[in-house]
Chains A and B, each alone.
Chain A
Amino acid sequence: MTVDPAAAPLEVDPLLDDPETRIIVCCGSGGVGKTTTAAALGVRAAERGRKVVVLTIDPARRLAQSMGIDSLDNTPRQVKGIEGPGELHAMMLDMKRTFDEIVEAHADQDRARAILENPFYQSLSAGFAGTQEYMAMEKLGQLRAREEWDLIVVDTPPSRSALDFLDAPKRLGSFLDGKFIRLLMAPAKMGGRAGMKFLNVGMSMMTGTLGKLLGGQFLRDVQTFVAAMDTMFGGFRTRADATYRLLQAPGTAFLVVAAPERDALREAAYFVERLAAEEMPLAGLVLNRVHGSGAARLSAERARAAAENLEEGRIVDQGHGKNGVREAASPAGSPPDSPDPGPGQLPHQETESQTPEQPSVNQLTAGLLRLHAERMQVLKREQRTRDRFTALHPEVPVAEVAALPGDVHDLAGLRAIGDRLAGGSPATGAA
């Protein structure tokens, strides 16, 4: 299948080769092959000469193994087997470890230990839905600051909503150095300010309520945590802001990844709109698992009609056909616009040789045609879904990646995906 003329093709190689491209962020809804795309881009960029690090969030086991990073140690490891002048490093994010490292780097030893041992911190660093997003962005900032790689490819967390990774850092940042947490700590301090009186009343009621709701110990844990983190608070907002600006910078390119399915493309459209609103630089859409056919000029309807012709023929040559029913049983027949085989042509198939263990050629051919009809139906549906996206966002360049029959397990598989991403092989393949 070729790219619809309405949408410009996304040129992947120039993007990967451009030394100005320093960060590529792959985003999209769950289950669309985001992590595989990020890994394939990493392999391709490295084999084209760049020094690349791929930051994955939650890769499937075998994908991680294909890059040799099945140990989760939060450090980039060089991937062996890259063919070409560049280098590929890969790492899997350990969000708790990343959070711990921030604490250790910004607090003296005693204070750091107090924080790390705090129950609220332990839940926050391991459990809070936004922590993964925040730490992914934090890690991205760290990798960028190290200046060891000339390209960072980052995968985004499998969020509740694909947009979470843009919002969560801000949310966590504003919570950690926000008004609320300070009020929790020292409600009395706020009381003196003009206009804050009602807040003070609200405040004592609020801590009371939250205390009742969550249990007093919980609030004490939070307060201890806040006291220990006090010196670091300004830092969180600053860091969240810095990462955000990094994402807006010219060296960053966002790729929205989707599959040609309604929900995934709807999410992709949201994403495109959101990135535009946030002034984040969108490079294009990667459409994974697109089906194609080398026999696309044979429509589903014609293929089905031809299969019916053959199957009726089989009834004849096997000799137990219900003769009277045969004609009546094919109301569909051949569509008027297809060359009519004519009943006269069918009998010559009776001469086909048949052995009991092998299906007849007619049966097989009918199967091939039905298979093709099914494929064409998929193609049509995918095209329709895609057209809807293109109509909404004609400005977004698209790269289509042909579906593979199986999953990717090794560098060769990632390389093949990379070829398809770069338009090296048309989407004729795959079931």
Chain B
Amino acid sequence: MSRLQVVSGKGGTGKTTVAAALALALATEGKRTLLVEVEGRQGIAQLFETEALPYEERKIAVAPGGGEVHALAIDAERALLDYLQMFYKLGSAGRALKKLGAIDFATTIAPGVRDVLLTGKACEAVRRRDKQGRFAYDYVVMDAPPTGRITRFLNVNDEVAGLAKIGPIYNQAQAVMRVLKSPGTAVHLVTLLEEMPVQETADGVGELRAAELPVGKVIVNMVRPHVLDEEAVNGVAGDRRKEVTKALAAAGVSAPTKLVGPLLEQAAEHAQRVELEREQRAVLAKLGLPTYELPLIGEGMDLAGLYRLAGELRNLGEAR
């Protein structure tokens, strides 16, 4: 089981939710996980219904069986200042650098440097040990940038190698790449059973593989139940309309003649969707990756839903 679990996915597929559920699932039964956020969106805090996360690891949830989920919102600027402090004992000069826009330059404009700092911090948490020599966290789960940018984000080596050919940033990039390309890392892609996200997932898998980054699983999120299959829908259409109307009346539905039309229409749409989903599952199957499906939480995502998804992930074999 890889200790660094990177979760990406197209916008709107719920990758933050899946990352959080995965962190919870992995923490079950006394484990410690760190959930890291790298895009400054405070999505984790919103999900766990807590105040905005500082640049500091803090416990945000307890998993079933006494495990703990800690969270960290990594801030590139702070990471750089810490780093400079650690290696160069900059002191107040750090503030002067900031004033001049040098920090801003290094963290937002110099291509790749920001990504090295963010992934570097996550890798540091993976490697960190406590005084007894045990790993500080059993697992680190990263809520990563979306599928379209994930390969570039993780492949910091290439980005930085073109620019910084020597120096600590270069060395840092090399060290980070060793962790990211090892079996100790798994990059999961979250998708929906819709054409665009599935296409983007397939493209993302291709890019990750080309960059020799370890692809983990495809996680299909928000899967809706199949109440009726296509055959059943064809069965109700047309000639059985009257019988359905009768059955509706018998079941206690008032004004069944007005409802039967819209209900059948919904069924036809459902059948169409089921068919589209079948096609998309086939596309995903061709990727040759383990695939997990998580149900749609009908009431909307909240803490209870998050724990439910964590339970689903455990049942699917995650964290065993």
Contacts and interface: CB of A to CB of B under 8 A. Distances in A.
Interface residues of A, number: 104
A286 B240 CA distance: 39
B247 interface: yes
A381 B266 contact: no
Query: Which secondary structure dominates chain B's binding surface?
Result: helix
B102 A206 contact: yes
B134 interface: no
B225 interface: yes
B300 A262 contact: yes
A362 B163 contact: no
Q: Which of A63, A209, A309, A340 has the most CB of B within 10 A?
A: A209
Contacts of B227: 367, 370-371, 374
B252 A338 contact: yes
Query: Which secondary structure dominates chain A's binding surface?
Result: helix
A259 B250 contact: no
Interface stretch (B7-15, B24-32, B204-212): B7-15
Interface stretch (B64-72, B194-202, B284-292): B194-202
Contacts of B283: none
B196 A124 contact: no
Interface stretch (B111-119, B122-130, B179-187): B111-119
A158 B148 contact: yes
Given A31-B13, A60-B199, A431-B272, A158 B100 contact: no
Contacts of B294: none
A252 B300 CA distance: 35
B316 interface: no
Contacts of B39: 160-161
Contacts of A127: 111-112, 152, 159
Contact of B10 (A31, A180, A346): A31
Contacts of B303: none
B148 A210 contact: no
Q: Which of B109, B251, B273 has the most CB of A within 10 A?
A: B251
Interface string A79-117: 000000000000000000000000000000000000000
B106 interface: yes
B253 to A, nearest CB: 5
B252 A206 contact: no
Given A171-B108, A180-B101, A406-B276, A348 B224 contact: no
Interface stretch (B52-60, B88-96, B135-143, B307-315): B88-96
B252 A340 contact: yes
Nearest to B88: A209
B102 A180 contact: yes
B97 interface: yes
Interface in B209-235: 224-225, 227-228, 232, 235
B140 to A, nearest CB: 21
A212 B167 CA distance: 6
B253 A302 contact: yes
Determine the interface band of chain B, counting residues with CB < 8 A from chain A.
35 or more
Contacts of B106: 210, 213-214
Q: Which of B10, B145, B227, B298 has the most CB of A within 10 A?
A: B227
B264 interface: yes
B247 A216 contact: no
B74 to A, nearest CB: 13
Contacts of B169: 213-215
A338 B255 CA distance: 12
Contacts of B114: 129
Given A215-B167, A215-B169, A199 B96 contact: yes
B195 A310 contact: no
A298 B10 contact: no
A158 B146 CA distance: 9
A55 to B, nearest CB: 18
A99 to B, nearest CB: 13
B166 interface: yes
A19 interface: no
A367 B251 contact: no
A369 B263 contact: yes
Given A348-B250, A349-B247, A377-B299, A175 B194 contact: no
Q: Which 5 A-B pairs have the closest CB atoms?
A: A30-B11, A31-B12, A294-B262, A31-B11, A341-B252
Interface of B: 10-13, 16, 39-41, 43, 46, 84, 88, 90, 93, 96-97, 100-102, 104-106, 108-114, 145-146, 148, 152, 159, 162-170, 194-197, 199-200, 224-225, 227-228, 232, 235-236, 240, 243-244, 246-248, 250-254, 259, 261-267, 269-270, 272-273, 276, 298-301
